[in-house]
Amino acid sequence: DEAEAARHFALAAEQGEPAAQLNLGLCYLHGTGGVPRDDRMAVRYFTLAAEQNSAQAQYQLGQCYARARGVAHNDAKAAELFRAAAERGIAEAQNALGLCFREGRGVRRDEAEAARHFALAAEQGEPAAQLNLGLCYLHGTGGVPRDDRMAVRYFTLAAEQNSAQAQYQLGQCYARARGVAHNDAKAAELFRAAAERGIAEAQNALGLCFREGRGVRRDEAEAAR
């Protein structure tokens, strides 16, 4: 009963319980539990919990600053909050901080720091970080040596957790024999999985498979679709 859950979160949040403040903030962020979606209220409760050192609340509040949800956009504040949560071991925050370093958002651009944070999160099983670390290995960025087999390893881990982008990248590895034996059928299977999740590059790659009969039966109508 999501409405009862939200009611009890609210009771506890008003007593200053940080876990309840986080949970009530999530209700407002997503509009669940009979609570209207209200980004400002989400920020209010995330802030209350973050001030009591809730690492998950620090991460959520950082995302609000990064995406201008309920608060003015502020990349520096977002990076500061991601760092606080990352230091407490929150995998999503480690990945988010890695992206800040990779793109120079709120911090000075530093690809080595980006790769380090992706690795921390990837070892905790965070699929977005596994994808990002795989890309570091694929391209040899962030002080990481180019290593196609390691790229395949991390793309596979992320793809197994239904990361559509990882499915696409892994499909390209099979199509191009990068770090794995060439396998057009496997490539097409992965492109299809990612394409069904709306990944434009995968839709194009699958279209090429149908046009050229690589891994699937040649079908120009499917290619054009």
The number of domains in the chain is 3
Instruction: Classify residue 149: in a domain, yes or no.
Output: yes
Angle CA 217–222–225, to nearest 5: 160
pLDDT at 7: 83
**% of the chain beyond a pLDDT of 90:** 86
With residue 186 as reference, give the H or E element that holds it: helix 184-196
Q: How confident is the model at residue 222 (pLDDT cuts 50, 70, 90)?
A: low
Question: Looking at the structure, do residues 130 and 176 belong to the same domain, yes or no?
Answer: no
Closest Cα partner for 59 from 113, 13, 117? 117
Answer whether residue 8 shows pLDDT above 80: yes
CATH of the domain at 48: 1.25.40.10
Q: What CA–CA distance (Å, rounded) separates 209 from 219?
A: 9
Average per-residue pLDDT for the chain: 94
Helix, strand, coil abundance in the chain, percent, nearest 5: 70, 0, 30
89-138 pLDDT, tens digit per residue, is 999 999 999 999 999 999 999 999 999 999 999 999 999 999 999 999 99
Answer whether residue 184 shows pLDDT above 80: yes
Question: Looking at the structure, do residues 177 and 222 belong to the same domain, yes or no?
Answer: yes
Question: Token pair of 180, please?
Answer: 């794995």
Instruction: Classify residue 153: in a domain, yes or no.
Output: yes
Q: What type of residue sits at position 208?
A: L
pLDDT at 194: 98
**C-beta of residue 158 within 8 angstroms of C-beta of residue 130:** yes
Q: How confident is the model at residue 221 (pLDDT cuts 50, 70, 90)?
A: low
Average pLDDT over every residue of 189-211: 94
Half-sphere exposure for 142 (CA within 13 Å, toward CB): 24
Domain hosting 107: range is 101-158
pTM for this model (two decimals): 0.90
Closest Cα partner for 132 from 160, 105, 96, 162? 96
